[in-house]
Structure 1
Amino acid sequence: MQKNSLRLEQLTSLRFFAALAIVFHHLAGQMGVGAASVNLGQGVSFFFVLSGFILAYVYPHLPDRKAIAGFWRARVARIWPAHVASFLLGWWLLGYKIEPATAIAYLALVQAWVPSWNFYFSYNAVAWSISTEFFFYLCFPFLLHRWSTTWRVKLGGAALLLLVLLWACSALALPALVSSSGDAFQPSQHGLIYINPLSRVLEFIVGMAVAQLFRNKRYVVGMSLGTALEIGGLVLCILNIYGSRYAVEVVASMVPDAPVIQWLVHSSSLFSFAALIYVMAHGRGRVSALLQFRPLVLLGEISFSMYLVHQILISYYASNKGRFVRVDEHLDLLVFFGVLVLLSYLMWRCVEIPARAVLTGSLGRVKVDLKRSLGPAFAALLLCITLATVLTRSGGADFISEREAALMTPASMASQTGSVFGNRFELRGLDVRCLADGIELDLAWRSRIDQPYVYTNAIHLIDASGAIVAQQDYGQPTGAPAKMGQMWKEHVSLPASKLRPSMTSIALAVYRGTDLLAIDKGNTDWGGRRLIIPLPECQPRHS
C-alpha cells in the first residue's frame, strides 16, 4: 500500500479549532456561553472536507485487495476504539437506556445511515458524524479507483445525489424535524440532508479533489504573500459562514420548510473550507507556521477524542446543575475545559494509540513511557477534579424567597405545587421547559423541619402506563442542614438523548435508600409516592 508519509501538521492543528467551534456550539446556554449568531456546527463540514483531503493525500493509490483491506483495517482502528470508549463513558455518567436495535447500529457505526432521530442521535449524539465518516471510509477505495480520470464524474455524481435527496424531501413532504414526542422513527429533512452520508459525501469528494490539486498544482510564494493567502482563506470561511445565515433567512422567507435550508445551515461553507485547506497545506505563511507549534499540533491530535467526549461532559453538567453551587460561570467554563482537554488527552494516549496499534498489528513499534507521558496527565487531571470539587460542589443550596418561587411557576403549573413529601419537603415552585437540547426543570422546595440534606430526588420520564422510559436521579444540595421554612431552588436538565417518543409525563419522587416519601396530595401513583407532572412537547436537539 503506497502512502505519502509527509505530515501536514498545520492541518492537524486546524482540526482542534474546528472541534473547538463545535464544543462552543453545544455549550450555548451553559456556563455563561451565549448562542453564536452563526452555526459553529459547520465545523463538522470542515472535518468531512479535511478527511477527504487527508485520505486522498496519504493514500494516492490502493492497488490491490490487500491494500484495500489494510486501509479499512487502519480506519476502523482509528475511530472505533474511542467511539466505544466514549459510549462507555456516557453510559457511566449519563445512564443511557440501552435499546438493542439502536445500540447495535450505534456500536456498528451505522446509526447515521438510518434517517430517523431515534437512531442517528442515539446515545452520544455527536457520534452520528463518525458513522457518516465510516461510510466515507468504506467508499474511499471505490472512489479512488481511476481517480485521475473519473474525479469529475464522481464529483458531479455526488452533487446530483444531493439534488435528488433534496427533491425527494420535497416530493415526500418530509418534515424539517421530527418531534421526540412524536414518531421519532419517521424520516425527516434533518435526517436525510444534515445527517445521512449520501448527502454529505459531496464534502468528502471535494476534499479528495483538493488533494489532487495540491499534488499537481502547488505554488511557491514568499512569506508575505503566503501569509496574505492564509489570512484570506480564514476570512473567506468566516464570511461564508456568516453569509449562509442570511441565505437561510432569504430562502426561509420564501419557502419556510425548503429542504435546501438544511444544507445551507450545515454544509454551505464546504468550498471555502476546501480553499482554506488547499492554502494551509502549502505552509507558506506565518499562520501555517504558527499552526505547526507543537502544543497546537498535540491539541489537534486529541481533537477526535475531544469531539467524542465534550457533549457527554456538557450533558452531565446540565443534568446535575441542582447539585452545583452557583459560582462564577467563567470559572465553571475554565474547569470544564481543563477536564475536557485532559480527559481527551488520556483517551488519545490510553485508548486511541494502543488500541490502534493492537488492531493494526503494530504494537511492537509503539513506544510507551508511562512515567513521562501519563504521570503528568494523571496529576493534572486529579488537580482539575479537585478544583471542580472544591469550587463547584462545596457550597450549599440556592436559597430563594416565597415570592421568587411563585414567580418562577407559570400558571399552567401552579396546580402541581403545594404537595408535601413525607412531611419533610414541600414543593413550592415548578417550571418545566422544553428546549432544543431537551427538558429543563426548576423546582422550588421548602423544608418543613430542621434536617440535613440526605435525600435523593428521582425524576422519571414515564409513558401512559406509568412505566419508566428514562430516569434522572440527583442528590439534594450539599452544605449546612436546612432550617425549617428555608426555601431553595434546584435546576435539572434532561438531555435530548434521554427523551423517547412514548413518554407522556414526568414523575417526581423523593427517597433515601429504599424509603420513598409519601405525598399528601396531587396526581400521584406508586401508592401516593410519586407525583405525576404533565410533559410539554419537545423537539430533538441539533448536533
Structure 2
Amino acid sequence: MIRLDQLTALRFFAALAVLASHLWPLAEYPNALQPLARTLFHEGYAGVSFFFMLSGYILAHTYQARLAQGRIGGWHYFTLRLARVLPLHWLVGVPLAVLALVQEGAGVWPKVAVNLLLLQAWVPHADWYFTINEPSWSLSDEAFFYACFAGLALMPLRRLGWLAAGLLALNLGVAIWRVASGQGAIIAGDEPTLTHWLTYISPVSRLLDFMLGMLVYRLPRRGGTGAEITALALLVAAMVAYPLLGLPDVWRMQLAYLPLMALFIWIFGAGGGVLSLWLARQGWLILLGDASFALYLVHLPVVHGALAVQDWLGDDALPWLPWAGLVSLAVVALSVAVYRWVEVPVLRWMRPRIDGWFRG
C-alpha cells in the first residue's frame, strides 16, 4: 500500500485550523487583534470539510480495491474503522460525561448515551449534538460515512457521481430554502439554529464531502509544482476573502469550500510537486498529522480550561496572542502524547484480534 505522507502532514494544518476556530473566544477579551482574530480564526471550521473529504479519499485508497476483490468483508472493514475512533472518543468522552452527570444530574444520561454511541449528529438540536465533547459530532458523521462506504466503494464511477450530484442539489436546495424563508442565520443570539444542523452538522448533508473525496480518488492523477501552488493559493485566498467579503455562513460552512477542497486534495494526492515532496519528507509534520485525530478530540477541553484560567486571572492579565500560542502548544503536545502512548498501542492490540476474529 502506497503511503500518502504528504496528505498525512496536511492533516495537521487542517486540525490546527479547527483549533484556531475554537480559540477565538480568547480574543473576546480586550485586545487590538480582536476584529482580525474573530474574522479569520473563525474560518478554521473549513478544516472539517477537509477532514471529511480526505477521509473519503484515504478510505478509497486503503479499502476500495480490497472490498471489490473480496480480500476484506464489509463488517470486517467497518469494525476496523470503529476500532480506530471509539477508544479515543471514549477516553476523552467518558471523563467529560462523568463531569456532566455530576454538574447536571441524571437528566443528562440520554445525551451521554447518544454521544458515546456516536449518534448525536442525528439529533437536530445543539444541546444534543454539541453535548459532552463538542467536536465529537463529526465522529458521529464519520461513523455514518463508514457504514455507507462499503456500498459506495463498489458503485461504478458514473453512479457514484450522480449520487453526489443529487446530494449537492439537495444541499443547495436546503440552503436556498433557508435563506429565502428568512432563516439563513447559522446562529441566533448565542445558539446554533436548525439551519446550522441542516447545512453543517447533518450526516446526510456532510456525506457529500466524503463522497467527493471518493470521487477525487478515482480521477486520473494530476500533480506538479505549479498545480500545488495554485491550489494552495486559491484555498488560502478563499479563507481570507470569504469572511472579509461577508459571504453568509450558510454558504461558507460547507458548500463554498467544496470545489477548492476537492481541487486541493486531488492535486496534493497526486504528489510529484515540490510542496508535496517536501511535506512527505518532514517526519515531524507526519507525526503531527498522525496525531491530528487526538488533537481534534482533546483541544476543546484544553481551550475551556484556558478560558477558565483567564476568567480567574482577569481580562487583562494575559496578552491574547502569547496566551493563544501557549494554549496551542499545550494542545499539540498533549495530542502527540495521546497518539503515541494511547492511540497507537490500543490499535496495535486491537487490529490483529479483529483480523483474527473475522478470518477465523
Task: Place the TM-score, normalised by the shorter chain, in its bin.
Answer: 0.7 to 0.9
Matches within 5 A, 1:389-538: none
Between 1:312-321 and 1:332-341, the stretch displaced more is 332-341
TM-score, structure 2 as length reference: 0.84
**Which of 350, 359, 364 in structure 1 is aligned with 2:350?**
359
Aligned match of 2:197: 191
Distance 1:36 1:13, change over 3 A: farther
Partner Cα separation in structure 2 for residue 268 and residue 304 of structure 1: 24
Partner Cα separation in structure 2 for residue 70 and residue 364 of structure 1: 7
Compute the displacement of 1:244 (Å).
3.3
Q: Is the 8 A contact 1:13 1:291 kept in 2?
A: yes
Aligned match of 2:53: 49
What SS does structure 2 have at the residue aligned with 1:115?
A: coil
Q: Is the 8 A contact 1:50 1:207 kept in 2?
A: yes
2:207 partner amino acid: V
**Which of 336, 340, 344 in structure 2 is aligned with 1:349?**
340
Partner Cα separation in structure 2 for residue 77 and residue 40 of structure 1: 28
Q: Is the 8 A contact 1:21 1:40 kept in 2?
A: yes
Partner Cα separation in structure 2 for residue 101 and residue 180 of structure 1: 26
Deviations along 1:244-303, one digit per CA (max 9) or x if unpaired, are: 336754xx6xxxxxxxx4233344111111111111122212211221200000000001
Q: Give structure 1 stretches of 5+ with no counterpart.
A: 221-225, 253-260, 366-543
Partner Cα separation in structure 1 for residue 85 and residue 54 of structure 2: 16
Aligned match of 1:271: 259
**Which of 216, 221, 232 in structure 2 is aligned with 1:218?**
221
What SS does structure 2 have at the residue aligned with 1:158?
A: helix
Matches within 5 A, 1:72-221: 72-91=78-97, 97=104, 99-166=108-175, 169=178, 176-177=185-186, 188-213=194-219, 217-219=220-222
Partner Cα separation in structure 2 for residue 92 and residue 295 of structure 1: 35
Distance 1:180 1:70, change over 3 A: farther
More helix by share: 2
Q: Is the 8 A contact 1:161 1:198 kept in 2?
A: no
Q: Is the 8 A contact 2:12 2:289 kept in 1?
A: yes
Deviations along 1:10-67, one digit per CA (max 9) or x if unpaired, are: 0001000011111111111417774243412111111111111111121223145961
Partner Cα separation in structure 1 for residue 38 and residue 172 of structure 2: 29
Aligned match of 1:6: 2
Q: Give structure 2 stretches of 5+ with no counterpart.
A: none
Aligned match of 2:39: 37
Greater RCO, 1 or 2 (C-alpha within 8 Å, sep 6+): 2
Compute the displacement of 1:364 (Å).
11
Please tell me whether Structure 1 or Structure 2 has the larger radius of gyration of its CA atoms: 1
Between 1:326-335 and 1:88-97, the stretch displaced more is 88-97
Compute the displacement of 1:175 (Å).
7.1
Partner Cα separation in structure 1 for residue 284 and residue 233 of structure 2: 24
What SS does structure 1 have at the residue aligned with 2:253?
A: helix
Compute the displacement of 1:131 (Å).
1.1
Deviations along 1:301-337, one digit per CA (max 9) or x if unpaired, are: 0011111111110111112334447245444334323
**Which of 286, 306, 328 in structure 2 is aligned with 1:317?**
306
What's the % identity of the aligned pairs? 31
What SS does structure 1 have at the residue aligned with 2:238?
A: helix
Partner Cα separation in structure 1 for residue 230 and residue 146 of structure 2: 31
Distance 1:232 1:340, change over 3 A: same
Q: Is the 8 A contact 2:231 2:264 kept in 1?
A: yes
Partner Cα separation in structure 2 for residue 364 and residue 52 of structure 1: 22
